[in-house]
Amino acid sequence: MIAEALSPATLAATAAGSVVGLVFGAIPGLTFSMALALMMPFTFGMAPVPAIAMLFAVYSGGMTGGAVSAVLLGIPGTPSSAATVFDGYQLARRGEASLALGAAVIASAFGGLFSLLVMMLLVEQVASFAIRFGPAEIFALVLFGLSTICGLAERSMLRGLIAGVLGLMVMTIGLDEIDGVPRLTFGTVQLQQGVNMLVAMIGLFAVPQVITTFLERRATLSPWPGEVTAEFPWRRLRGYWWLMLRSSTIGTIVGAIPGTGGPIAAFLAYDHARRFSARPEAYGTGELGGIVAPESANNAVMGGALIPMLSLGIPGDPATAVILGGLLIHGLQPGPLFVQSNASLVYALYLTIVVSWVIILLVQIWGIRLFVRVLRVPPHVLGVCILVLCAIGSYAIRNAVFDVYLMAIIGVLGYLLQRLRIPLAPVVLGLVLGPTLEQQYRTALILSEGSHRIFFESPFAVTFFALTAAIVGWQIWSSTRRRPRTR
Amino acid sequence: MRLGAALVLIALAWLWLVRTEIPDAGAGWPGPRGFPQLLGVVLAVLGVWMMAAGLGGSAARVDERTRPTYTGELPVAAGTLGVLVLYAFLLERAGFLIATPLVIVLAMAGLLRLRRWLPIVSLAAGFTFGCWIIFEALGTPLPRGSWIGW
Amino acid sequence: MLRIGAALIALLPLTAHAQYPQKAVEMTVLFGGSSATIAQVLADALSKELGVPVAAVSRTGAGGAVGYSFVRSSPPNGYTIVWNSNSISTVFHSGNIDFDYRAFEPVARIGMEVPALAVRTDSGWTALEDFAAAARSRRMRVGISGRGSFVHLVSAALFETMGIDVVYVPYGQGTAPAELLGRRVDAALQWPSQFKAQVDAKQLRVLAVTSPARIPVLPDVPTAKEQGFDVDLVMWRGLAAPRGTPKEVVARLEAAARRVVASPRFKELSAKLGFEPAFLPASEFGVLVARDDAAIASLMTELGLKKR
């Protein structure tokens, strides 16, 4: 079975899966969840090891690919790479796109392999830890994540909070999942599905930036450095390994908790990196840590999410649900007995994950020279292409033209906010955290039959509340001290 | 100051919409309305805070990081929205292969006032075809349009 | 490459009298998870039967409202079909769409999924009666999918028959089994495939299924009816086309579906996914859909969930 992991068929399937995943991840609007669903039928006729290896490779390739468009175009390829845009795109604008992409892929591989190691050594421990996270604990964790708005608010805390609230508001539109009633849909079916997170992100990140590019073109300003270096400075990553390790831990744990996922992990890691950095003010202007942290975290989510899937048979997110389907099709029923009773198969699968990372690293590092050529295209021409890409990407997410209209409107509103000096990053954070925050809060209250005591009876929840209070308190204290100078 | 007032108005409109557009599921607080209501109230409070800060005079100070102002900002922003909306409209009816080159040419010539037709047309054709091939090969079909129906 | 070829062929003009199917058929899938996987297996097998690609295209969201609306407004030519289920009734009666099952032509029932009620093994309950007895001294918390979902209706019907009152805890993304393991709920009513692994590992026990007869996935589990609680609620899954699709097109799809469901390969894959193939031809399927709709309507009225 182990030998099967290195058989030509498996290697070919892994390579194909990695590349397809990368392409899907790199195109805004095409996500690895879609890639997984589309590759699924091909696995029906394959032997179990190559079939599952291909699905794993699509997952890791897709998660990594998201960073490519985040860095080069400033649009997250998948929701999990939204936090990568803040610093990745700034680095690209400074002509250091290859550095940003290189850091992203290495951090990704590190995160992916770290979580694989955790999965191999501590499956049962992590699974039994993760299962203790119920609605009350997840609510507390997400609320803690929301306190990172303070860090993303750029200059004014007030404007950051406004932005965060606007983001949270957008995500309440649609059919309420708990009570099944339509909210703010004005009787339309299209709005019932709610505002897709990625559609909103594409609009918010891409449209304001394209409008600015067009304006600069008309004012004949050239915002881009003339040349793009294609060198790959490994040395610059020195000093980031410890951050990678911490971010990977965050990603693995968040991934293992059913009902959370990559975007939340990426933002938590981003904020963690900024908070413990020697130069927090550099974040958002092209700091390498701002790429390393979210990319290692969102790839570590994969191993994390596979833990409850393999050891309990419970998928934590839509992507692992598809992989679970792939395992079931081949007569493999993950669950408490799975790892022991299929040890050689499981180890073969672990080995294929390592192989897929080797392939992804090779393809990406080789591909960087190719990718950065995109930046030689004059910005205004690239802007027109980005508009088209955003539109068809938004369409592809749910096969709905309605989403293209939605993306356009959200994008122009985003431009308006930017002009009013309301930062967009907290809006995105609101989009990411809003649905989970509300749902877990309400589910917890249903569990406790309306009593808020449920939030204070759990040591995990209380810990996160205390951390949240500490961060908010510290932020208010430091902003009152700064007040005389800036507002 | 004006922004603060606008936010308060938006928050009030939101709260009104929450009352009229979200049915009360009868499940008590929070229910489907609770969270949106809370957000509306928070936005209103933030708006008042901003107005108060404006009255204090500190917001009158110009942010030194204010971006350069461009001429023709409104037409470009409105034009971009227009191009996207037109594109969405055409995607649904004429399909990707017809809508895309039209919109690219329109954006290049209309929004950016470029007049070198050969590069514009070849970009429009090339980019359209490239995207179409990639999306078809990946098995994510692009809209074919209801007017023609293939 | 194949797809590009198919797309190019699809560009060729069609003659009016050409025999169906001439181009790719699009099958709208309304939900993710196990239902989407079985849809892909079906689409794959159907494309071999029909000789044209059958693409399972996901249009999820709003309890199926989005996908149903799309298919309903598509031209009734057999090139847009929907992988449907009882959700057409739940989504209509909850007031989220303004058309019901009559907006579609039934093509065929493909199979069934049977809800199952599970508890932790260490609870000591081995039959519904044990659970009912315990529920009389303490209000039980039962994990379901969202309010107004089919499993919610089924559990409401079951507990009403048992004469007990429980707290329904809605979980999205199929996390109810995890919550059961995490001891935050006392029972969960979900699909058997979600419990299979834990049942094998003796961590969870399925007390009952709500079908009229026992199911192959869990042959040792008695039905609710066997235990004296008369509940017969099963989710059907099938294919439907927009109203007005020509009879011969429906017949062609029906015949293809019949052969797929009868094939050993489909049976094998279904068993692995915990899906129970059960073909019904268009006419009988239509009767079933109408009968189920009436049952769901009265159930939702009782629960106060009926909005239309």
CA-nearest residue to B30 within chain A is A442
Disruptive mutation site among B12, B80, B91 for chain A (greatest number of A CBs within 10 Å):
B80
Contact A272, A250 (CB under 8 A): yes
Put simply, the chain B residues between 7 and 36 with a CB less than 8 A from any chain A CB are 7, 14, 17-18, 21-23, 25, 27-28, 30-32, 34-36
State percent of chain B over pLDDT 90.
35
Higher pLDDT, B78 or A478: B78
- DSSP character for A226? S
Q: Is the residue at A302 inside a domain?
A: yes
Put simply, the chain C residues between 69 and 98 with a CB less than 8 A from any chain B CB are 75
Pick C4's closest partner by Cβ from B26, B136, B150: B136
Residue B55 in contact with partner chain A when CB distance is under 8 A: no
Subunits with 3+ C-beta pairs closer than 8 A to C: A, B
C146 contacts in A (CB within 8 Å)?
A: 177-180
Q: Please judge whether A27 and B134 are an interchain contact, meaning their C-beta atoms are less than 8 angstroms apart.
A: yes
> Per-domain residue ranges for chain B?
2-60, 73-137
Disruptive mutation site among A176, A328, A395 for chain C (greatest number of C CBs within 10 Å):
A328
Question: Domain with C240 in it: what CATH number?
Answer: 3.40.190.150
Q: Is the residue at A454 inside a domain?
A: no
Distance from CA of C3 to the nearest CA of B (A): 6
**Helical (H) or strand (E) element with A174:** strand A174-175
CA-nearest residue to A38 within chain B is B139
**Distance set, CA C259 to CA C1, C49, C247 (Å):** 28, 8, 18
Q: What pLDDT, on a 0 to 100 scale, did the predictor assign at position A377?
A: 82
Residue B44 in contact with partner chain A when CB distance is under 8 A: no
Q: Is the residue at A412 inside a domain?
A: yes
Match 């990718």 to its residue by tokens.
Answer: A371
What does the pLDDT average to over C281-303?
87
**Distance set, CA A122 to CA A115, A334, A348, B98 (Å):** 10, 16, 17, 55
Distance from CA of B35 to the nearest CA of C (A): 17
Q: What pLDDT, on a 0 to 100 scale, did the predictor assign at position A229?
A: 59
What does the pLDDT average to over A116-127?
87
pLDDT interval class at B48 (50, 70, 90): very high
Query: What is the extent of the structural domain holding A86?
Result: 3-134+197-420
Give yes or no for residue C9 having a pLDDT over 50. no
pLDDT interval class at C12 (50, 70, 90): very low
Q: What pLDDT, on a 0 to 100 scale, did the predictor assign at position A207?
A: 93
C7 contacts in B (CB within 8 Å)?
A: 136, 141
**Helical (H) or strand (E) element with A183:** strand A182-183
Q: What pLDDT, on a 0 to 100 scale, did the predictor assign at position C17?
A: 44
Same domain, C107 and C127: no
What does the pLDDT average to over B61-74?
61
Q: What pLDDT, on a 0 to 100 scale, did the predictor assign at position A246?
A: 94
CA–CA distance, C196 with C210 (Å, rounded to integer): 16
CA–CA distance, C303 with C154 (Å, rounded to integer): 11
The closest alpha carbon to A200, from A30, A23, A399, A409, belongs to A409
Put simply, the chain B residues between 115 and 134 with a CB less than 8 A from any chain A CB are 123, 127, 131, 134
Q: What pLDDT, on a 0 to 100 scale, did the predictor assign at position B60?
A: 42
Residue B84 in contact with partner chain A when CB distance is under 8 A: yes
- At A424 the three-state DSSP class reads coil
Instruction: Concatenate the DSSP letters of all residues of chain C into one string.
Output: -HHHHHHHHHHSPPPTTPPSP-S-EEEEE---THHHHHHHHHHHHHHHHHSS-EEEEE---GGGHHHHHHHHTS-SSSSEEEEEETHHHHHHHTTS-S--GGGEEEEEEEEEE--EEEEEGGG---SHHHHHHHHHHS--EEEESSTTSHHHHHHHHHHHHHT---EEEE-STT-HHHHHHTTSSSEEEE-HHHHHHHHHTTSEEEEEE-SSS-BTTBTTSPBTTTTT------EEEEEEEETT--HHHHHHHHHHHHHHHHSHHHHHHHHHHT-EEEEEEHHHHHHHHHHHHHHHHHHHHHHT----
What does the pLDDT average to over A158-182?
87
Same domain, C107 and C152: no
CA–CA distance, C216 with C112 (Å, rounded to integer): 12
Subunits with 3+ C-beta pairs closer than 8 A to B: A, C
Residue C8 in contact with partner chain B when CB distance is under 8 A: no
Q: Please judge whether C10 and B141 are an interchain contact, meaning their C-beta atoms are less than 8 angstroms apart.
A: no
A392 contacts in B (CB within 8 Å)?
A: 91, 96, 100, 131, 135, 142
Structure-derived torsion over alpha carbons of residues C175, C181, C182, C187, reported in degrees to the nearest 10: 80
Mean pLDDT over all residues of chain A? 86
With vertex at residue A99, the alpha carbon angle to CA A98 and CA A103, rounded to the nearest 5 degrees, is: 115
CA-nearest residue to A43 within chain C is C41
A128 contacts in C (CB within 8 Å)?
A: none
CA–CA distance, A437 with A447 (Å, rounded to integer): 16
Residue C11 in contact with partner chain B when CB distance is under 8 A: yes
Give yes or no for residue A417 having a pLDDT over 60. yes
Distance from CA of A257 to the nearest CA of C (A): 10
Q: What pLDDT, on a 0 to 100 scale, did the predictor assign at position A485?
A: 46
Domain count, chain A: 1
CA-nearest residue to A173 within chain C is C62
Distance from CA of B101 to the nearest CA of A (A): 10
Give yes or no for residue A352 having a pLDDT over 50. yes
Q: What pLDDT, on a 0 to 100 scale, did the predictor assign at position A227?
A: 56
Six-digit token pair at C141? 């918390």
Give yes or no for residue B70 having a pLDDT over 80. no
Pick A211's closest partner by Cβ from B27, B34, B76: B76
The closest alpha carbon to A468, from A481, A480, A451, A455, belongs to A455
Put simply, the chain B residues between 95 and 134 with a CB less than 8 A from any chain C CB are 133
CA–CA distance, A375 with A161 (Å, rounded to integer): 34
Distance from CA of C269 to the nearest CA of A (A): 6
Q: Please judge whether B39 and A165 are an interchain contact, meaning their C-beta atoms are less than 8 angstroms apart.
A: yes
Same domain, C120 and C104: no
Encode pLDDT of B105-142 as tens digits. Answer: 999 888 888 888 888 899 899 999 999 988 888 777 78
Pick C59's closest partner by Cβ from A333, A338, A398: A398
Q: Please judge whether A409 and B23 are an interchain contact, meaning their C-beta atoms are less than 8 angstroms apart.
A: no
Q: Please judge whether B25 and C147 are an interchain contact, meaning their C-beta atoms are less than 8 angstroms apart.
A: yes
Distance from CA of A445 to the nearest CA of B (A): 9
Give yes or no for residue C215 having a pLDDT over 90. no
What does the pLDDT average to over A232-251?
86
pLDDT interval class at A466 (50, 70, 90): very high
B47 contacts in A (CB within 8 Å)?
A: 162
Residues 6 or more apart whose Cβ sits within 8 Å of residue C177: A312, A313, A314, C118, C143, C188, C190, C194, C195, C198, C204
Give yes or no for residue A299 having a pLDDT over 70. yes
State percent of chain B over pLDDT 70.
83
Same domain, C77 and C147: no
What is the 3 state secondary structure string of B54-102?
HHCCHHHCCCCCCCCCCCCHHHHHHHHHHHHHHHHHHHHHCCHHHHHHH
Contact A328, A313 (CB under 8 A): no
pLDDT interval class at C18 (50, 70, 90): low
Q: Please judge whether A338 and C65 are an interchain contact, meaning their C-beta atoms are less than 8 angstroms apart.
A: no
Q: Please judge whether C197 and A336 are an interchain contact, meaning their C-beta atoms are less than 8 angstroms apart.
A: yes
Query: What is the extent of the structural domain holding C262?
Result: 20-112+235-303
Encode pLDDT of A81-102 as tens digits. Answer: 999 999 999 888 888 888 888 8
Pick C11's closest partner by Cβ from B133, B141, B150: B150
Phi, psi of A27 (to 5 degrees): -90, 120
What does the pLDDT average to over A428-437?
89
Q: Please judge whether A185 and B21 are an interchain contact, meaning their C-beta atoms are less than 8 angstroms apart.
A: yes
Question: Domain with C184 in it: what CATH number?
Answer: 3.40.190.10
CA–CA distance, B27 with B134 (Å, rounded to integer): 49
Q: Give me the amino acid identity at A188.
A: T
Q: Is the residue at A309 inside a domain?
A: yes
What does the pLDDT average to over A345-363?
89
Contact A59, A18 (CB under 8 A): no
ipTM of this complex: 0.90
Six-digit token pair at B102? 């039209």
Pick A321's closest partner by Cβ from C33, C70, C177: C33
Q: Please judge whether B30 and A445 are an interchain contact, meaning their C-beta atoms are less than 8 angstroms apart.
A: yes
Q: What pLDDT, on a 0 to 100 scale, did the predictor assign at position B141?
A: 76
Domain count, chain C: 2
pLDDT interval class at A187 (50, 70, 90): confident
pLDDT interval class at C62 (50, 70, 90): low
Query: Per DSSP, what are the bridge partners of residue C142?
Result: C168, C187
State percent of chain C over pLDDT 70.
92
**Helical (H) or strand (E) element with A182:** strand A182-183
Q: Is the residue at A246 inside a domain?
A: yes
Which of C175, C209, C243 delimits the end of a domain?
A: C209
**Distance set, CA A60 to CA A120, A363, C150 (Å):** 17, 13, 34
Q: Is the residue at A332 inside a domain?
A: yes
Q: Please judge whether A158 and B49 are an interchain contact, meaning their C-beta atoms are less than 8 angstroms apart.
A: yes
Q: Is the residue at C12 inside a domain?
A: no
What is the 3 state secondary structure string of A290-350?
HHHHHHHHHHHHHHHHHHHHHHHCCCCCHHHHHHHHHHHHCCCCCCCCHHHHCHHHHHHHH
Pick A189's closest partner by Cβ from C69, C170, C181: C69
The closest alpha carbon to B86, from B62, B64, B68, B111, belongs to B111
pLDDT interval class at A486 (50, 70, 90): very low
Q: Is the residue at A40 inside a domain?
A: yes
Q: Please judge whether C37 and A313 are an interchain contact, meaning their C-beta atoms are less than 8 angstroms apart.
A: no
